[in-house]
Amino acid sequence: MDNTFQIAIRDDATSARLGYLQTNHGVIATPVFMPVATQGVFKGGVDSEDARAINAPIILANTYHLYIRGAVPTVKQAGGLHEFMNWDRPILTDSGGFQVWSLGRGARKDALCKIDDDGVTFVSHLDGSVHRFTPEKAMQIQRDLGADIIMAFDEASDESSSYSYTKKAMERTHKWAERCISENSKLKTFTPKAFGARNSKLQLKTKNLPRQLLFGIVQGGRFKRLRIDSAKVISSLDFDGVAIGGESIGFNMKRTAGLLEYLQPCLPKEKPIYAMGVGFSPTDFFTVVERGVDMFDCVAPARLARHGNLYCKDAGARNKYRINIMNAQHKHDFKPVCDWCDCRVCETYTRAYLRHLFKSEEITALRLATIHNLRFMLKVMEEIRAAIKAGEFARLKMEWL
């Protein structure tokens, strides 16, 4: 693959590193947190302008959800997701493999999907219509969406799956990975010009790479031997980066840390490493960054915001750096949510006002809370990158932990 990732600085005491990943819509400084815009929009009423204002370097969109709602042809006609949602920075799309797998959840008799060696047949959770995904189709859909970074089609397995089932799913993932690489090599990078989109407002910020960057996904469930085997196979293939997938990644940070510890020797040293689903708490970032992870995403910051759980540095690690804005103690609290945060919500509104909005069930409450939580997490990442650059990662980690 092309030399699109460069490591600028490595931490002396840990595996933390500062890097730069080149894409068709800009260079991404890593490690990086990617806010999730599932259907080309962020939950909570946050739009692309808001995402730019909070300085999101890259966002993630979901192939399955865009496909199942019939949006892909429209997005393609618009000139790709960047044009469609007026976003001029990098986008990563997942392949839809996890969402399709979750319809079946292993070997359930009432599964909404059926998996075979060629691909997956699944039933829409919206209208009951039947669809088919193959590795090739996943590449084609992501090409039409025009993301800068795309993911190989994989088969996940849940934590309760047997060794034999997990091994079969892993081996299928490896075969599909090779098919994804083959298909991606045949597809030219999507640009507005290539599809004749009119009045394109967005310009590519770096050289036009010959294709989208493609990441493979390590599977293997809860079995160490399978995880190591998968890491070795995926790392040996011609991918631009390697992702760690699976049900427990990000949900169980103790298990995630242990997994990364024994996988690290098997992962490529000069490619970006992506831990899928990490970002529930600011402390989670330190757990994965010190183990060599460069990229991560999570829906939790936005989901927590919609329930009134707002990040606040003063709340401390014991409270996972969160306050519940709907608690009575905030009724007459005229401080910002977080003095440390530089988002426009903290610079403009008080805890009492936000509590009032939530108690009044105003839509604005969701938007302001989401803007705050996303910016908070992005600012944590900015501090982490600055600390690695200055050789102070250990000091910053102690400050947060």
Backbone angles phi, psi at 344, to 5 degrees: -70, -20
Tell me which of 144, 154, 229, 297 is the catalytic residue: 297
Alpha helices of 290-339 — where are they, by DSSP H?
Answer: 300-306
Q: Is 297 a catalytic residue?
A: yes
Tell me which of 50, 94, 148, 154 is the catalytic residue: 94
Which tokens hold the place of 132? 């088919």
* Strand boundaries in 304-358, DSSP class E: 309-311, 322-324
Q: Is 94 a catalytic residue?
A: yes
Q: Largest Cα–Cα distance in the chain?
A: 61
* CB-side neighbour CA atoms (13 Å) of 185: 10
Q: Contact, 96 vs 138, CB < 8 A? A: yes
Burial of 397 (0-12, 13-18, 19+ CB in 10 A): buried
Supply angle C-alpha 165, 268, 293, rounded to 5.
Answer: 85
Which tokens hold the place of 81? 């997701």
Residue 189 DSSP label: P
Q: Contact, 295 vs 30, CB < 8 A? A: yes
Neighbouring residues of 33: CB distance < 8 A, sequence distance ≥ 6: 279, 285, 296, 297, 298, 377, 378, 380, 381
| Active centre residues (catalytic) | 94, 297
